[in-house]
Amino acid sequence: MTPEIPLFYHIFHKLLSDVYPTIGDFPVDTIRENQREYSTVLYKTSDAPTITVGLLFGMHISKSNHTKLSKLQWLHSMLVNKFIHIDIQTIIEDKFRKAQCLYRRLCRLVYKYKWNKTPVSIDHDLYLNPISANQVNVIYLLHNGRKYAFTLRDLIHNIESSLTNSPNMFAEPLVCKNPYTNIPFSKAELYNIYFAIKHGTCVMSPIIHNYFLENFHLKHFRDNNEVLIRNIAISRLVHSNDTENLYYSIRRMISKHNSTANRRRRLLIHPSFPKDKLVDIMRPYVQLYYTSLYSLDNVKRNDACLTLETRLNHFARYNNCFGRRYVILQKNSFLSEEIISRYTYNDTHLPWTKVNSNKNYETSHLEIVESDSDSEDSPDNTDHHENWFGRSDASETPLQTNILASLFRSSTRYESFDEDELWSNGESQPENHNMVSDNEADDEQQTTANFVLPSYIIQMDSEFNEMSLLNSTHATVDAANLDTSTGSG
């Protein structure tokens, strides 16, 4: 079936016939279907300019034309052809311009008629909330013969999801489609959506803006914005990935950290530590970890690698016992001798804090102040961290330390586990994880000699009384001092 000739060529043929009447003697359909008869008549009855224009127009609309040039491409080929006289080029350009202007007016008239006669098929958003034309950030689109109402927020989310499609971290943008019919938007509709967002109150998405700058060309958009698409895909992966995958990534991240960190800055997470809680705590660190692995921006990848190492060191310094499991032994009742045990986990951690962008807000437009990891806001510069008792280790006296140690030995047992158990699920241990330098060994020996307990959970049995225990401890200490003094005497 031969496709119909567009209305534009009928208008253009009518305007050309005003200058070259012989061309007007043949309808457009005849010129298209019977090119040989049309050419023969032109050669017998017309002058050179009429033959030139008639043949060029007939060859363009002929069904045997295999070049498939658009009307603008055909016009350009006429204007740059040095074998066509300048007067003929001027006539073709003038008639083409008038035909195009009249054609666009007719198209606009038809569009307004369809717009006014077409009822609204969908008058709610994607969350089934009713919307109307009086609301802010609402756009109506006449798509495929039906009228739809959209909120700009839904369209932004829908278009961003299509353009940032990244299976296995490779940018593969998809065609932007109507979410109700799954039919692609036309380029005119994409322009209407872009300018509605631009003149509305929604923040312009950089993805949509860059798509507009590429004239809505998918291939050019993908090639020129692959770095931006990858960064968005990383952020989306961290917030939408399932817990199991994130948990596995966290284990890999901690294993990599432990392989290079100081022994006292390593993190040992018990295998039975709640996965959901660990993922929620480590989610910002995982985003840095993914950025350091998958980002295509070399500067951002290196910065994420350094920031991650610094953050994990701060995290371990704040509480290097994070992730440990404890067994609490407690009598079942006051009279019973039965001992029951329950597990608890050390989940005290350093809260994730973003960079304080308001610190130099008054002068941030006048100067660039580089962030310093050793600033007063850095977690490493705190004089002492508060433990689980709400006070710092530096405030503990030797007597309080002995009391707490006695309580700990009587009611709580720390369940230690070998480092091999942490990686028992098939993941390899960090290399040289048992190697300690001489300086570290001296530090550990000194730390053991000055052991301070208050970083652990201690729960007392109901039958113990803190005051009586304090008195008995005083008596024990006095008796020890007395025995020492007597022996020395």
pLDDT for the residue 26 = 83
- What is the domain partition of the chain in residue ranges? 7-116, 138-234, 241-474
End-to-end CA distance of the chain: 123
Residues 57, 31: Cα–Cα separation, whole Å:
9
- Crossing angle of helices 275-294/226-240, nearest 10°? 170
SS3 content of the chain, % helix, strand, coil (to 5): 55, 10, 35
The C-alpha angle 127, 132, 134, rounded to 5 degrees, equals: 135
Residues 157, 122: Cα–Cα separation, whole Å:
18
Residues 44, 124: Cα–Cα separation, whole Å:
65
pLDDT for the residue 34 = 79
Report the Cα 7 to chain-centroid distance in Å. 46
Residues 443, 441: Cα–Cα separation, whole Å:
5
Element (H, E) at 61: helix 48-61
pLDDT along the chain (489 residues), means of 10: 78 90 84 81 81 85 75 90 90 94 94 92 90 90 92 95 93 95 94 95 94 96 95 92 92 93 89 93 94 93 93 92 88 72 89 76 82 47 36 39 42 42 42 38 36 35 34 37 39
For 299, the token pair is: 């500067």
pLDDT for the residue 330 = 78
Residue 324 one-letter amino acid: R
Give Rg (Cα) of the chain. Answer: 39
Q: What secondary structure letter does DSSP report for 342?
A: E
The C-alpha angle 7, 11, 12, rounded to 5 degrees, equals: 115
Which positions ≥6 away from 168 have C-beta within 8 Å? none
Residues 469, 12: Cα–Cα separation, whole Å:
106
For 52, the token pair is: 């030139």
Query: For all residues of the chain together, what is the average pLDDT?
Result: 77
Q: What secondary structure letter does DSSP report for 391?
A: S
- Kindly report, residue by residue over 162-201, the tens digit of the pLDDT: 999 999 889 999 999 999 999 999 999 999 999 999 999 9
Cα–Cα separations (whole angstroms), residue 408 to 155, 206, 458, 460: 60, 57, 6, 8
pLDDT for the residue 2 = 56
Cα–Cα separations (whole angstroms), residue 83 to 52, 77, 87: 10, 11, 12
Write down how long the chain is.
489
- Crossing angle of helices 243-260/298-318, nearest 10°? 80
The predicted model scores a pTM of: 0.69
Whether residue 325 contacts residue 270, with contact meaning beta carbons closer than 8 Å, is answered with yes
- Kindly report, residue by residue over 285-342, the tens digit of the pLDDT: 999 999 999 999 999 999 999 999 999 999 999 998 999 998 888 777 766 677 778 8
For 429, the token pair is: 């241990």
Residues 376, 319: Cα–Cα separation, whole Å:
19
Nearest to 285 by CA among 318, 311, 248, 258: 311
- Kindly report, residue by residue over 38-75, the tens digit of the pLDDT: 888 888 777 888 888 888 888 888 876 666 788 999 89
Residues 196, 185: Cα–Cα separation, whole Å:
15
Which positions ≥6 away from 406 have C-beta within 8 Å? 469, 473
Nearest to 41 by CA among 56, 22, 27: 22
Which positions ≥6 away from 36 have C-beta within 8 Å? none
Which positions ≥6 away from 176 have C-beta within 8 Å? 158, 159, 162, 163, 184, 185, 190
For 24, the token pair is: 């007007």
Which positions ≥6 away from 395 have C-beta within 8 Å? none
Half-sphere exposure of 129 (CA within 13 A, CB side): 8
Helices (H), 241-352: 243-260, 275-294, 298-318
pLDDT for the residue 246 = 93
Whether residue 218 contacts residue 190, with contact meaning beta carbons closer than 8 Å, is answered with no
